[in-house]
Amino acid sequence: MNHFHGNIPAEVTIGDVLRELNLDHNEFEGPLPRTLINCTHLKVLDVGNNRLNDSFPHWLDALPHLVVLVLRSNHFHGVIRNPTTRHPFPMLRVFDLSNNHFTGPFPGHYLLHFTGITSNITSDILVNYSNGNLSYSYECSASLVVKGLEASVIGILKLYTSIDLSSNMFYGEIPISIGNQLYTLRLLNLSHNRLTGHVPPSLGDLTLLEALDISNNQLTGEIPWQLSNFGFLGVLNLSYNHLSGAIPRSRHLDTFGNNSYLGNTGLCGFPLTLECEAKNPPVHSKEEEEEEEDSGFFNGFSWQSVTIGYCCSFPFGICVGYFALRYGKLNWLLRKLIWKRGKGSKNTVSRRHARRRTH
């Protein structure tokens, strides 16, 4: 919080003794000095609110004791590539890249390897000094945006867990595994990016979350009811997305006002003034129900049933017709011939009698 300017000198990292480097709110320019990789005992690196211009310092992920990394409000840019180490940032608990110019897909591969958050590993950020017979202790601090307000976090830093990627140009979907693995997370801010897809229901598993901000993105779908599991949430901002459907109700979610849902024209229900349409089944009159019952028998015959009946009866009909033609018709013809012959003989006899009488 001074007016220092120019590049951060590489000589600041001479010797492996540095535990905290806090240059917040100055006017430093240029890149981060690569000599910081030699500070293997570094716990806090806060260079926020400067004019630094560099790509993401992926080479820092090898620092074994780094707990806080704050790059907020600079000119960092480019795509965040995959980790260069097997266990990147093994002790990291505060990760703040907000208000920069990062692009590319959502860096979920980094977030899901933060064992300091995923495994609830705590790190003592109390730095002890000794000078002869005197000993000193110093608590590391960092300037963070907590629940929308910037504050210097000191005493609770070793318990605080925060991920802030807001105001960049990340795109893609929010990984489902965030809720399954980062279960000790207390602040999650992904606002003002280009994120798409649905809100993962697994976010409801972050039961210790105190602030959730995913506003000003392009998220779609309904708000998952699992978000009603929050019990410590003090800030909720889902505004200016493309969310739709009914807002989940719970004793805790009902405490948030309209500002948490602004800019989502498809949302309805409390606390918004737009009520959701009732999904009750339509009510029919008794006459209509009787007509439906009477017509139900005929409606039950679909083209599938007709086809099945036709296929089953067609061979049977052929067999019956065959036997009828072969046996039944011949007998009928014989009887008809016999009847004609008998009738003919009777006629001849009657004619002979008639001639005799005339004679």
pLDDT tens-digit map of 153-199: 555 455 678 899 999 999 999 998 888 888 889 999 999 999 999 99
The Cβ of residue 260 has, within 10 Å, a number of other Cβ atoms equal to 20
Question: Mean pLDDT, to the nearest integer, of 148-154?
Answer: 59
* pLDDT bracket for residue 148 (50, 70, 90): low
Q: At 144, is the secondary structure helix, strand, or coil?
A: strand
DSSP 3-state assignment of 41?
coil
Query: Which of these ranges, 34-48, 106-120, 169-183, has the smallest mean pLDDT?
Result: 106-120
How many Cβ atoms sit within 10 Å of the Cβ of residue 265? 10
Distance CA 195, CA 171 (A): 5
pLDDT band (50, 70, 90) for residue 23: very high
Nearest alpha carbon to residue 50 among 31, 66, 78: 31
By C-alpha distance, which of 2, 55, 7, 54 is closest to 28?
7
Say what percent of the chain tops pLDDT 90. Answer: 43
Q: Is the pLDDT of residue 135 over 50?
A: no
Rounded to whole angstroms, the Cα distance separating 337 from 216 reads: 98
- Quote the Cα angle for 34-104-157, to 5°: 55
- Between 159 and 62, the more confident residue is 62
pLDDT of 289: 47
Structure tokens that stand for 15 in this block = 């010797």
**For 286-333, what is each residue's pLDDT tens digit?**
444 455 455 544 444 444 555 556 566 666 566 655 555 555 555 555
Q: Which of 137, 259, 115, 85 is nearest to 184 (CA)?
A: 115
Average pLDDT value for residue range 34-49: 92
Could you tell me the CA-to-CA distances from 112 to 78, 182, 276 in Å, in that order?
20, 7, 37
Residue range 237-266, pLDDT digits in tens:
999 999 999 999 988 889 999 999 999 999
- Residue 225 or 313, more confident: 225
Longest dimension (CA), the chain: 174
pLDDT for res 137: 44
Domains and CATH numbers, the chain: 5-268 (3.80.10.10)
Instruction: Give the span between the Cα atoms of 230 and 203, in whole angstroms.
Output: 9
Per-residue b/e over 126-147, b at no fewer than 16 CB within 10 Å? Answer: eeeeeeeeeeeeeebbbbbbbe
Reduce the secondary structure of 193-260 to three states and give it as a string.
CEEECECCHHHHHCCCCCEEECCCCCCEECCCHHHHHCCCCCEEECCCCEEEEECCCCCCHHHCCHHH
pLDDT of amino acid 347? 54
Which stretch of 37-46, 105-114, 166-175, 236-245 has the lowest confidence by average pLDDT?
105-114
Give the number of other CB atoms < 10 A from CB of residue 107: 22
What is the amino acid identity at position 84? Answer: T
Report the pLDDT value the prediction gives residue 113, as an integer from 0 to 100: 79
Nearest 10 degrees: CA dihedral of 204, 207, 211, 213? -10
> What pLDDT, on a 0 to 100 scale, did the predictor assign at position 13?
74
